[in-house]
Every structure is written in structure tokens, then in C-alpha cells.
Structure 1
Amino acid sequence: MTADTLPARAMPSGDAATAATKKSAFKSIFIVASGNFLEMFDFMVFGYYATYISKAFFPTGSEFVSLLLTLMTFGAGFLMRPVGALVLGAYVDHHGRRKGLLLTLGLMALGTLAIAITPTYDQIGLAAPLIILAGRLVQGLSAGVEVGGVSVYLNEIAPPHRKGFYTSWQSASQQAAVVFAALIGLLVSTSLSPETMQAWGWRIPFIIGCVMIPFLFIIRRHVEETDAFLNRKEHPKIGEIVRIIGANWGIVLQGALMAVMTTVFFYMITAYTPTFGSKVLNLGPGEALFVTACVGLTNFILLPVMGALSDKVGRRPLLITASVLGVVLAYPLMSWLVASPSFGKLLAVELLLATIYATYNGAFIVYLTEAIPAHVRTVGFSLAYSMATAIFGGFTPAISTALIGATGDKAIPGAWCAAAALLSLLALLIGSRVNRHAEAHG
């Protein structure tokens, strides 16, 4: 028996220590990312079932207006993200990563439960859409710091040479949720009739999300505080945090503008795909959901790969390459798709856009965590990311729907993606130049 085939307890001490370290790292990533999974699962389910939700809670007599109101409600949750980023982010930076991650999971669970059990408009009238809106706002409040909290935690527990790889699992956990939500949606939609789906079938994925909540609380209770947080002698309170963020507003603003591409592309290729595929391209709902599952699986594989690549070649080369590809390819790809829609073309276009997204995001998340001062890292990261999501990314399904209605161009969502990529590219290039100038004259 060779050394390589020995059981762990018989390994030399160095190998045993390495194996134990890898096991501990995997455990930490899994525990922290579990709540992030629930957040994205609930967001995706809302986007996937926008058509059914529009008829249940926003009946207007116009299918287009009802769908637009539903997508606006989906986007409204993102308006609370900057509030969550500032208030809850300050809580995390002051009280610790562990307490903050438990709090955000509780808020997300509350919003999910509200959407799952709310009676329809026909049953309780105007109260129904108001409760749905409130549920989305609570979810948005939680999500405002969930992404930042998880990203910062993973960055702080990562070895210096593997921070890109570790941090990329924040986004990868979201992709696992995309796949899971799409597969459940595919199973439910093919098992139930359209009438049953409209009556109550669309609630099944939300109920599944509620069932997961107790297990996720049990898992996340095992989160350990990071050494980086424990080793800091002082933890600023909210007033000081606001002052520090104000002093570093340029970094936060650059981060927000750079986050525009990753948020717009993400919600385009995930949350909007089922609606775009079925309502705009007139493909079957099952086909669009299957494509979405393929997108999530592709991203799940590529994000850690790109995060690891950014550890090798640096963040900027990947960021520049992906954003340039986004500017050049997004609209032509979408134009090619809508010229003669098919399942194969939708799959090809979405996977190409997913590759561009994964390349950019795999480098961007760790880039932003490294740019924000450590003692306000959670609130700074969360504020930058949530502003981009609130203004641009979260409203991508609604903006795309409105643009198609206004222009009659079914490929116009591609132009929206290209504009987002151009804005983020300029933010990277101009911001980096400003930073170098400041360092040279500081």
C-alpha cells in the first residue's frame, strides 16, 4: 500500500493537517453559503413564476400591465438593499459576521413565508399585493447585506493566494439555487395543468423554500467568527462607519458602477429567461426553465474556475476581457436569437452570456472585497453592490419588458446588457487611473 492510498489517520502529520484544513475550509464554505442559497432560490422562484403571480395578485385586465407590475414588485425588493447594506452592514461590522449572517437568514425566511401563504387578490383584495410587496421589501433588506456578508466572510477565511477561489463560492452558491429552483419549476410545471398551476401550483416552490428554513438555521448556527474580525481591537459603531464610508465614497461609487454589469447580466440570464423565453420568444415554459437550469449549472462550474484564475493572472485582465465581450456581443447575440427563436439558439445564447458573466463575476467579487477598508468591509461592499442592484440589476426584467413594449425590438434586452458592460468597463478604467493618480500625489 502506497502513502497515497493510506487512510487519513495513517498519513504523515503534514498530509493529515492539509486534509483537515481542506475539510474545514469546505465545511465553512458550505455553512456560510447555505443561507445565500435560500436568498437566491426565493428570488429566482419569484422571477420564474412572474406570470402566475401577476394573475394572482395584480389583475388589471391587461396581461402586459399585470406582468409589468409584478416585475416592478420583484425589482422593488432591491430598493431596500442599500438600506439593508447600511444598517445591517454596520451591524455585521460592529457585532460580527456570525451574528449578522443569522439575522439576515431570519429576515429572508420571514419574507419567503409571507409570499408563500398570502391569499390572492380575489380573496382579500388590495391587501394581497401589499403583503407581497412587503415580503419583497423584507427580502431586499436582508439581501442588502447577505451577499456582502458572505463574500467578506469567505475572503477573510481564505489563504492569501486563494481568495479569488474562496470568494467565488458566494456566487456559486447562488447558481446552485438557480439550478434547484429551475428544476423544481420544471417538475411542477410539467406535472400540473395550467389551471392548477395558476390556482396553487406556483406556491409549491415557495413552500419548499419555507421547509428548508429550519435546516438552514441549524446549519448556519455552526458558523464560527473569522479571525480577522476577532483580531481587530476596535469595531466601529454606525456613526463612525458612516463617516469612514463617506471618506471612501470614491471606492464605493466605483464598486457600484463596476457591479452594474454583473447584476444586469445575472438577472438577465436567470430571473428573466423563463419570462423572455415563454412570453417574448413563444417557446414552451419547460424549455425556458431547462435553459435556465443549464445556465445555473454552467455558472456553478465556471465561477470557481474564474475565481481561481483571477488568483493566478490578476483581477483586471478578467474584468476587462469580460466587459469588452459584453459590450461587443450582447446585442448581436440577442438579435440572432430573436430573428428565428428556437430552443437550441436560446440555450446557445444564454450559455455564451453566462460565460461572460462568470468570467467577470469570478474576478469582481474578490476585487471589491479587497478594495474596501477592512474595518468597514461588509457595509462598504454591501452598499456598493446593493446600489448597483437597486438601480440597474434588480429591475432588469422590468426594464427589458418595458423596452420591448416601447421599441418593439425583441432584442433590446441585449442592448441593455451591452450598456451595463460599457458602464462597468469605464468605471474600472477611469477609477483605476484616478486611484493611481491619487497614490502618485498622495
Structure 2
Amino acid sequence: MAGPAPDPSASKIATVLRVTSGNFLEMFDFFLFGFYASYISKAFFPAGNEVASLLLTFVTFGAGFLMRPLGAVFLGAYVDRVGRRRGLIVTLGIMAMGTILIAFVPAYETIGLAAPLLVLIGRLLQGFSAGVELGGVSVYLSEMATPGRKGFYVAWQSASQQVAIMVAALIGYALNLALLPPQMQDWGWRVPFFIGCLIVPFLFYIRRSLEETQEFLQRRHRPSGREIARSLGQNWRIVLLGMLLVAMTTISFYTITVYTPTFGKDVLKLSATDSLVVTFCVAVSNFVWLPVMGALCDRVGRKPLLIALSGLAALTAYPALLWLVGHVSFLNMLIVLLWLSFLYGSYNGAMVVALTEIVPVSVRTAGFSLAYSLATALFGGFTPAVSTWLVKVTGDKAAPGLWMAFGGLAGLVATVLIYRRAGTSAAPGVVRPVPGE
């Protein structure tokens, strides 16, 4: 007698876990650099001035994002040509090399200028890989999703990042309890990077078990690198609008995650433990809102959510932080950051799937990755540095809220332009690209 038929839903859940597990490592390693920026600045960038040292660290953090567009074009074209599965394995390998380099580089006092140079190389490798990782995972999830539920499935790409933040915050919290400040500064901050190195082999094993998407296998024509480059050039307007669409996501994301520990500890003068607890709670909140709003946009459409949330971000980000700096406490920081988390998670739950839909199918990975990477390189990646600079120049501790408000305005303008000809007859979850793209 034949056994019971396999449960399709269970199979899809397993696929989501396999594809996002590698995304977890990519983002875990990426976030660690921002989480431990104050320690890294003293180890590799001793400038004689705490603010200058921190700025050099955040500039190095942002430099990794400048490599993302290159990764998007070259690795994105590779993924669109050879397949989603093989491409995701390659990106994982490149990210692992960058992480191992950062974890084992001796401090400045040991090897001098070679230390910050090697750290920079590690960040550039991570950025090159991450340039296509988010796009590759998002496209994979969109192509394997159940019809009518793309928003829900694609949202798990971003949700897996939140798990990475939670794990990083928990490790940081445990280290702060177990180690004295001199120990954290000397070697404790490296422990999470070592953990990231240790789980690399396991994640390689998981990713190798992925199957290629049926949608990709059914495509008869696999575009060459030259064809992909030509198509990207022909569709530059949709890539540009996609970049502005992502600006809201990437600025708000790095504000409420990577910058939060520094903002709480160095600007608001709360304890490092309090800041890490807030970061953990933000990640949990993001993890909840992303799939919930991804599922909601499958029902009501992408446009209403994108307009409402980007508009709220533009209007409320600065006033919320202004209230916080006037009433500093752990609870008030938690309340404000959870509000900003709601804005980010709800917007991004609809935005990511919308971006997979407006990019031409033949260059879906490269187009998505290029738009996302340009936004991250120009806006999000330098958010910690911009926020630190704004606070120093203006003397206004709430100034990072202005940067997030700018992101909300960019997302609002992009949404209106992308959907200006879609009309009210568009079915929920269906995006018609800008004519001529």
C-alpha cells in the first residue's frame, strides 16, 4: 500500500527555511559590524577622537554597500543565466570569506595600517555578495510561491533577517552579562563573528539541497550577460523608481536595527544592555509585521499599503525621535522604536514583492538586485554614518528622524509614479509596470 501523499504546504515551508537560512548568515554577519561598531572603531580605527573613530568605522561599514551594485550586476546576471540555486550557493561562499577575514584580523596596535585595510577588504567581499543575495532569495521565493500568496512568501526573505538580528542581539546581551567591558573591548566582540564562521558548513549543506524553481526551468531562453546588461539599460527608469521605492525600506531598516545600539548608548546615554534589548524587541516586531503585511497586500494590493506607510514615515519619524530625546528612558525608546518598526515592517512586507513584479522577468534577479543595491549603497548603508554626522553637525539628537522622513518621502514619490497608470481595476497583488519598460 502506498504511503500518504506528501503535504505540499510542508514541502513549501521546508523550502522557505532552506533558502532563507543562507540569507540569515549573510545578514547576521552584516549586522555584527554595525552592532559592535564602537568596539571595532577602537580596535581598527584609533583616531584619537571617539566621534571621528566611530565615523571611520561607519564609513567602512557603508563602503561594503558600494560594492552591492557591482554584485547585483555581475552576480545577478550569473543567477539569471545559470539558475537561482547555483547562484545562492556562490553568494554564500563569498560572504563566508569576508566574515572569516574580519573575525581573524589582528588589531591596529598589532599590525598597523594593514588591520583597517583587511577589514575594509572583508566588508567589500560581504557587500559584493549581499548585492545579489536579497534579490536571489526574493526571486526564488516569488517563483516558488503558491498563486495569490506571493506577498506572504516573499516577506520571509526580510523576516529571516530579523531572526539574524535577534540572534545577534541575544549573543551581545549574553556577552555583556558574562564579560567585563575591558574583555569585551579586547576580544569579546569577536565571539559572534567566530560563531558565524562555525555555522558556515551547516548552511552550505542546507543550500545544496535546494531545488531549482520550476519557473526558471521552464524558461526556454537563458539570457547572456550582454543581453542582461542591454535589458537593464533599456529598463533604467524602472530600476531608478525601484531604487527610490527601496529607499524607505533601507533607511528605516538600518536606522532601527544597526544604528539603534549606537543611538541608545552613545546619543541617549542608555546602557548597552538596554540598547540591545530594544534592538531584540524591534527584530521580533519586524518578524511579526513582515509576513502579516505581506499576506495583507495579497488581499488589498501593494499600492494602498505602500502609500499609507511611506506617508506615515515621512510625517512621524522626526517628531517621534524628538519626543524621545526629550523624555529619555528605556521604555520610551522601546515605544518609539516599535512604532518605527511597524512602519518599516508593514511597508517592506508589500514593497519587496512589488519590486519582484515590476522588473522584467528575463532580468528579474539582476534588476531587483540592482535597484535594491543602489538604494542601499546611496541611502541605507550610510545611514549610521549620516545619522552620526547629523547629530554632530546640528546638535539635534533627533536628527536621524529627518533622514528616515526623507526615506519615507522617496518611497511615497516612487509608489505614486510606479502605479500612476495601474488604475483601480488592478487586482490585489498585481502590478503593471510603467508603460514602455
Contact 2:306 2:411 in 1 (8 A): no
Letter in 1 for 2:192: P
Q: Classify 1:239/1:51 alpha carbon distance in 2 versus 1 (closer, same or farther; 3 Å).
A: same
Contact 2:136 2:365 (8 Å CA) reproduced: yes
Q: Aligned in 2, Cα 1:131/1:321: closer, same or farther, shift over 3 Å? A: same
CA apart distance, 1:233:
0.7
Distance 1:200 1:178 in 2: 21
Give the alignment's Cα RMSD to 1 decimal.
Answer: 1.6
> SS of the counterpart of 1:235?
coil
Q: Distance in 2 between matches of 1:255 and 1:441?
A: 15
Equivalent position of 1:393 in the other structure: 380
Aligned to 2:427: none
Q: Secondary structure at the match of 1:278?
A: helix
Aligned residues: 428
288, 302, 309: which one aligns with 2:296: 309
**Aligned residue number for residue 198 of structure 1:** 185
Q: What is the letter of the counterpart of residue 314 of structure 1?
A: G
Indicate the residue corresponding to 1:366 in structure 2.
353
Counterpart position of 1:119: 106
2:229 aligned to 221, 242, 265, which one? 242
- 1:342 equivalent to 2:329? Answer yes
Question: C-alpha separation between the residues in 2 aligned to 1:220 and 1:438?
Answer: 32
Match of 2:154 among 163, 167, 188: 167
Shift of 1:433: 2.3
Distance 1:308 1:396 in 2: 29
Q: Does 1:77 find its partner at 2:64?
A: yes
> Which whole-Å CA distance do the structure 1 matches of 2:315 and 2:298 have between them?
26
Query: Is residue 94 from structure 1 mapped to residue 92 from structure 2 by the alignment?
Result: no
* Counterpart check, 1:25 vs 2:12: yes
Q: What are the Cα deviations for residues 419-441 of structure 1, in whole angstroms up to 9, with x where unaligned?
A: 11001101111233267799789
How many angstroms does 1:375 deviate by?
Answer: 1.2
Cα separation, 1, equivalents of 2:151 and 2:196: 29
Higher fraction of helix: 1
Structure 2 CA distance for aligned equivalents of residues 24 and 120 of structure 1 = 46
Contact 2:318 2:405 in 1 (8 A): yes
The aligned counterpart of 1:355 is 342
Structure 1 length-normalised TM: 0.95
For 1:384-440, what per-residue CA distance to the aligned partner results, in whole angstroms no more than 9, with x for missing partners? 000000000010000000011100000000011001100110111123326779978
What is residue 280 of structure 2 aligned with on the other side? 293
2:317 is aligned, of 330, 339, 350, to: 330
Give TM-score scaled by structure 2 length. 0.96
Matching residue of 2:23:
36
1:275 maps to which of 238, 250, 262: 262
Structure 1 stretches of 5 or more lacking a match? 1-7, 11-15
Structure 1 runs (4+) greater than 3 angstroms displaced: 434-442
Please name the residue that 1:4 is paired with: none
- The amino acid across from 1:266 in the alignment is F
Given candidates 24, 34, 51, the residue that maps to 1:64 is 51
Other-structure match for 1:186: 173
After the TM superposition, which of the residue ranges 428-437 and 250-259 deviates more from structure 2? 428-437
Looking at structure 1, the residues matched to 286 and 211 of structure 2 have their Cα atoms a distance apart, in angstroms, of 28
> Which runs of no fewer than 5 residues in structure 2 stay unpaired?
424-431
Distance 1:370 1:286 in 2: 41
Instruction: State the shift of 1:159 in Å.
Output: 1.4
Report the alpha carbon displacement of residue 39 of structure 1 after superposing the two structures with TM. 1.1
Alpha carbons of 1:135 and 1:429: their partners in 2 closer, same or farther (altered >3 Å)? Answer: same
